[in-house]
Amino acid sequence: MPRVLTFGTFDIFHIGHVHYLKQARELSKSGDVIVIVARDKNVIKFKNKKPINHEDERLELISHLKLIDLAMLGKEENIYELVKEINPDIILLGHDQEPSEENLAKKLSEIGIDSKIVRAKAYKSDKIKSSKILDKILLDH
């Protein structure tokens, strides 16, 4: 059974995240679904914003979901280190996540990983995002 790896910040958990993780479960059939939760330091570095919820809280939330088998925090320095350790059969990228499938495949081949890379389908539209939910909350108050 395939081992599927996903990544995310999961700062304001919403239905789009559930849809994403359901896709991971479907790809895995009865195999493992592993989620790497982004470290606060990397969210700031790559998204240029500080998460609302601390990484430990986001990890705990994800850890309780029945859709996944294992959740862990990413590495602060080498974000590909865990991918190499896990050596997944499939990597599921969110519909709006960077990098592109081609760039990720190239980077992974450089470190000896030959995982199939799949892009998740957006839930109804790409308008369901934590940042847009937060913007709406802030504007309404």
Q: What is the mean pLDDT of residues 56-68?
A: 97
DSSP letter at 74? P
pLDDT given for residue 36 in this prediction: 98
**Domains (ranges, CATH) in the chain?**
4-140 (3.40.50.620)
Tokens coding 50: 């500080």
pLDDT given for residue 130 in this prediction: 60
Average pLDDT, the chain: 90
CB 88 within 8 Å of CB 115: yes
pLDDT (tens digit, 9 = 90+) per residue, 10-43?
998 989 999 999 999 999 998 999 999 999 999 9
pLDDT given for residue 124 in this prediction: 79
Band of residue 96 on the pLDDT scale cut at 50, 70, 90: confident
Which string of b and e fits 4-33 if b means at least 16 CB within 10 Å? bbbbbbbbbbeebbebbbebbbebbeebbb
Residue carrying structure tokens 């993780």: 21
